[in-house]
Structure 1
Amino acid sequence: MIRLARTVLGDVPAAELGSVDAHDHLFLRSPALPGEELDDPRAAEAELTAFREAGGGTVVQWTPRGMGRRLADAVAASRATGVHVVAATGLHQAAHYEPASLARDMDRLTDLFVTDLTTAPVRAGLVKVASGFHGLDAHARRTMTAAAEAHHATGAPVAVHLELGTAALDVLDLLCGDLGMPPASVVLGHLGRSPDARVHLEAARSGAFLAFDGPSRRHHPTDWRLFDRLTALVEAGHAGQILLGGDTTTAGARREGPGMRFLLRGLRPRLEREFGEEAGRAVFVENPGRVFGWVRAAPRTHAHP
């Protein structure tokens, strides 16, 4: 059976995604980041163009509901550049929302997520949720429960913002233990921000996908640890679960660079020198195709003009 990824332009065979930036943002806004909105369609299109020229095929945008996804602009940028864009539904931490809008949606999260994944005019290809720092508060448990319910209804993967890289095992206990999700449909994000090799290995043994993000000035403290963490995972046999993404979240980070293209012009050559070309293909092509290629239904018409 062909695995399909749900992009903003329709369903695409996972084998056609090409090299993937597995965690990034074309558009994003939050009251927690005033004045740092990613809301410029021309800048987003320029980023996608640079990524395509570096050999990129797909960008997975983790921006959830209520944080400026700008889906119409994502559609336009994908059409203009020929780069596939996978959008997210879901909900971030409560701090990223106005209390009134958050309260309005909390009792219907599962329905909202399923609609975004299945019948919305521009459909999402994953559910994004978030943990707290070293634990799960009531908001995290409610949003993760809805995300798991949406997964069971649709098969969509669930990607988790781990606050400063913490609480990975708590997340797995909830999603895969209490809520019955298969670990292979869970992506744990920001793991490099808490470089605990033992936690990373335990999470990998569960079967979940492990996402490391950066580089940018905002995330630079994680950069120098990246290859030590990757080495530990590759040597333990978990190369087939690693994902890499740029995770540019602010206008300042976009201006400062190095941008999405650095994943393919900077990190991928280093990764292949360290672990071989097969590992590079696994991290950038095969692993994203397996976790984001989830759709079982026949694809809608998909064509870039």
Structure 2
Amino acid sequence: MEIRHTTNPADFKTFTTERMRNDFLIENLFQEERISMVYTHYDRMVIGGAVPVKETLELEAAETLKTEYFLERREVGFLNIGGDAVITADGESFELGRLDALYVGKGNKKVTIASKDSSNPARVYFCSALAHAEIPSRKISIKEANPNHLGSLETSNERILNQYIHADGIQSCQLMMGVTQLKTGSVWNTMPAHIHDRRMEAYLYFDLKEDARVFHMMGEPSETRHLVVSNEQGVISPSWSIHSGAGTSNYSFIWAMAGENYTFKDMDMVPMNELK
């Protein structure tokens, strides 16, 4: 498991492109027959990807966590962006089609990930946060997610924000998770920008063609920078940072949040004339 430490926003102003990419960009999450994970000290979130082909992969407690098993003090949200997946939590199996999600709560000792068809393997993204209570596992399909239609084609940000794990959907201790899908002709997400000082956020950009890119904006509103992001790459977004982006075409992204507040209303909007 790779470890990423936190950054003081005052220090962030001096970062080179290479330093930004090393600290905040997550590459190569999806590797065949393995689970890849990044542990960030921002709200102790674990961000991971799994591509089981013929093997069944187990979510294990790496030495990093210092626990007997992965979900001893954690919860996890899975979201499949590939072929059909089969995830088992302490003997209970769940089939996830593309863009289906699964919440697995604290206390589940054995969690495995497999593909239903090795010729069309699953590509399972997951985010895990600390948990204080045991909540039952639950699957939710893309059809059952709560859709929010946002933006417009005129402002190049027409999109659907699908909520999966949140206060009015799948319950959790602190993890929130969903998928935003941009319509054809739209490229901007989360603009006008905002910050939420009591929650960090992680993005996974996907549904991008090989030669397409997203320019992910981050930093304090008065000191913004950007990361150039390719398909199926992730970004760690600190609580002090804006998190928006513009693509060379439309795209989708998975967002996941963890922290002190468990509400979407915890947003401090940034007026456009304050961005620099």
TM over 0.5, shorter chain: no
* Higher-strand-fraction structure: 2
Give the TM interval when normalised to the shorter protein.
0.3 to 0.5
Greater helix content: 1
TM (normalized to structure 2)? 0.34
